[in-house]
Amino acid sequence: QIRRIIDNIGLLWTMDDANHTDGPRCGREAMRTVGAIENAAIAIDAAGLIADVGPRKSILDMADADTEIIDAKGGFVSPGLVDPHTHLVHGGSREKELPLRIAGASYLDILRQGGGILRTVRDTAAQSEAALLNQAKVSLERMSRFGVTTVEAKTGYGLTLEGEMKQLLVAKQLAEAQPLSLVHTAMPAHAVPKDLPTSREAFIEQIVDMLPALHDAGAEFADVFVEDGVFSVEEGRHILMKAKSLGMKTKIHADEIAPIGGAELAAELGATSADHLLAASNEGLVKMAEAGVIAVCLPGTSFYLQKTPARARFMLDEANLAVAVASDYNPGSCPSENFGLTMSLALLTLHMTPEEIWNAATRNAAYAIARGDVAGVIRKGRPADVVVYAAPNPEYVLTHFGISHVGMLFVKGRRIL
Ligand code: NIG
Ligand code: FE
């Protein structure tokens, strides 16, 4: 039984292909495959799954008297967007840091002085769970307005078991309290507190000891900020090996500022993704591709930190990497939930093509959070996460930048916008 049909789609990018292949798309040629159908329609069943997708006439034949026909007005349609890297749950805000950075202080200077992430750790500790939940819910609503239907959410503003659990439990409650799908990542290794009461080694062991409880409470991934003056490659390896032994999948904030070998570590560990990568070496990027690690580019962050962006063209043209994009929404290095802006910056600063950008923001982003089987493509049998743009084509969506072009948004077959 067909519950509704999204009809009169001018241009549909399914991000699928004729053979319904699975897996992330690697390199420039594959990432230019979009599964385009002109004058298309999508049939959705009573369970919210895609009953069929194809040319209008064939799909409209499936309608009965009770089927709701929805007019996409000749617009562009894509799968629901997937944001595979956010620091969703946090207290407070950090607007005072940008003037300091513009006056010459670096992101890591501010962190070393107890600001930055450590400031948000204090702000998050000061908030009740209810207040954190409300703030994060507003962020998710904002993300949905740009077409996002699946969001990864990291901890990392607790740094103690109690604080990390608080953040994780808020994210878990949010997963039930609003329509978007969430994926949970534990990131107790996000920063090192300023005046450690213990030795550095003991602090690293405390982090390792938090992982079982965070995993049991629903954290599917573990992530470490491997960076000069934050966590070393050796510390990252130690923490993530423990995570792997528990059955967690792994991610790394890798080579964001200094080229210390985060990309190489991601390859060695077989991480699901390595993210940021502004300073990653050519060798590290090639090793990531060989190991099947997805490169998650965060163009909003390089823009806001005023840094040279990740070398997406090398990743795509030379290293044959699977590239994804993410907002990195957080209060310090990318305080914006505008995933449309992320995608426009992928065009303007990463020099990706529209085809590569939609692959990076749907299919590859879903694989970057182990959701390639349920999100990122429009295919018969999949949950109907669908963006209908009030815009005629993908180039228009990217170039008319900074605003939302979402006309309608469906999550698991239900219209939420
Ligand atoms: O991905 N680089 C480290 N972590 C975050 C920023 C978190 C913050 O500044 O609060 C990032 O950019
Ligand atoms: Fe991040």
Instruction: Convert the pLDDT of each residue in 259-295 to its tens digit.
Output: 999 999 999 999 999 999 999 999 999 999 999 999 9
Cα–Cα dist 363/383, whole Å: 14
SS3 of 184-195: EEEEEECCCCCC
Verify that 159 and 143 share a domain, yes or no. Answer: yes
Cα–Cα dist 321/312, whole Å: 9
Distance between Cα 14 and ligand 2 center (Å) = 28
Write out the E strands in 123-243: 148-154, 181-189, 221-226
Asked if residue 330 belongs to a known ligand binding site, the reply is yes
Q: Which residues of the chain fall below pLDDT 70?
A: none
CATH code assigned at 158: 3.20.20.140
Verify that 233 and 300 share a domain, yes or no. Answer: yes
Verify that 95 and 150 share a domain, yes or no. Answer: yes
Last residue of a domain, one of 333, 350, 368: 368
Question: Could you report the per-residue pLDDT of 33-70, keeping only the tens digit for each?
Answer: 999 999 999 999 999 999 999 999 999 999 999 999 99
Residue 166: predicted pLDDT: 98
Largest CA distance in the chain: 71
CATH code assigned at 389: 2.30.40.10
- Residue 396, C-beta contacts closer than 8 angstroms, at least 6 positions apart: 76, 405
Residue 409: predicted pLDDT: 99
Q: Report the nearest-CA residue for atom 12 of ligand 1.
A: 333
Cα–Cα dist 220/217, whole Å: 9
Distance between Cα 82 and ligand 2 center (Å) = 15
Verify that 17 and 150 share a domain, yes or no. Answer: no
ipTM for the predicted complex = 0.98
Residue 211: predicted pLDDT: 98
Verify that 362 and 399 share a domain, yes or no. Answer: no
- Terminal C-alpha separation, the chain: 23
Q: Who lines ligand 1 at CB under 6 A?
A: 87, 116-117, 120, 225, 253, 256, 301, 328, 330-333
Write out the E strands in 168-292: 181-189, 221-226, 249-254, 273-276
Verify that 169 and 151 share a domain, yes or no. Answer: yes
Q: Which atom of ligand 1 is nearest to the CA of 111?
A: 9
Verify that 53 and 110 share a domain, yes or no. Answer: no
Verify that 273 and 359 share a domain, yes or no. Answer: yes
Verify that 303 and 253 share a domain, yes or no. Answer: yes
Asked if residue 119 belongs to a known ligand binding site, the reply is no
Structural domain harbouring 411: 2-79+377-415
The total of structural domains in the chain comes to 2
| Cβ–Cβ under 8 Å, residues 392 and 72 | no
Verify that 250 and 194 share a domain, yes or no. Answer: yes
Residue 204: predicted pLDDT: 98
Residue 15: predicted pLDDT: 98
